[in-house]
Amino acid sequence: MTRTAVYPGSFDPITNGHVDIIRRTLQVFDRVIVAVAFNPNKDSSWFSPVERVAMISDTFRAEGDRVSADSFSGLLVDYAVAKGAAAIVRGLRAVADFEYEFQMTSMNRHLKPQVETIFMVAGESHFYVSSRLVKEVASLGGNVAGLLPDNVLPRLLERARSHRPGQ
Ligand code: PNS
């Protein structure tokens, strides 16, 4: 029996923190679906869902079908059930993440009690990495090398040029 995990998020864009969580998840599950959530009516993302999925696919090309990238709109629990996932995986960095994650997990459990959520703790070198901060630093000209997969860095730097403050 193949055990599949759904790892949802905005992934705008995928960072090395996400990569770390996906690699840890692969040690426990047979397959991971990295699921880019998007809201067609409200989106201030730097990258389109198609671009975000492409960056994730490029990052995990060597893993073959153990890692797939997809996008969804609508409820995460409905998506997880439709994909036959054994669990939703979320990453935790610091205590500050816990309250938001606890609230989301409790709501998801209210919606679909049969869907479990499992938390993976990020490696400590990733505790301060988030897509939001990486974008902010890049847009202000800071160095974000090493925080993103190699294929993502040039795409982020290119996009940062159009997100400079005052533009
Ligand atoms: O990376 P993020 O932005 O912290 O991920 C949040 C995400 C995408 C997991 C969350 O917003 C989500 O599940 N969105 C899908 C819509 C949904 O199911 N909303 C109810 C969540 S309790």
Q: Which atom of ligand 1 is nearest to the CA of 90?
A: 9
From the list 134, 139, 132, the residue with the least C-alpha distance to 100 is 132
Q: Is the predicted pLDDT of residue 131 greater than 70, yes or no?
A: yes
Supply the residues annotated as catalytic.
18, 42, 93, 131
- Its pTM surpasses 0.85: yes
Q: Whose CA is nearest to atom 3 of ligand 1?
A: 10
Q: Are strands 67-72 and 87-92 parallel, antiparallel or unpaired?
A: unpaired
The strand pairing partners of 51, in sequence order, are: none
Q: Which atom of ligand 1 is nearest to the CA of 78?
A: 18
Q: Is the predicted pLDDT of residue 167 greater than 70, yes or no?
A: no
* Stretch 132-153: mean pLDDT: 97
- Contact status, residue 67 vs residue 26, Cβ threshold 8 Å: yes
Regarding the beta carbon of 91 and ligand 1, being less than 6 Å apart is answered no
Measured between alpha carbons, how far is 93 from 91 in angstroms, rounded to an integer? 7
Q: Whose CA is nearest to atom 10 of ligand 1?
A: 9
Neighbours of 139 (CB within 10 A): 18
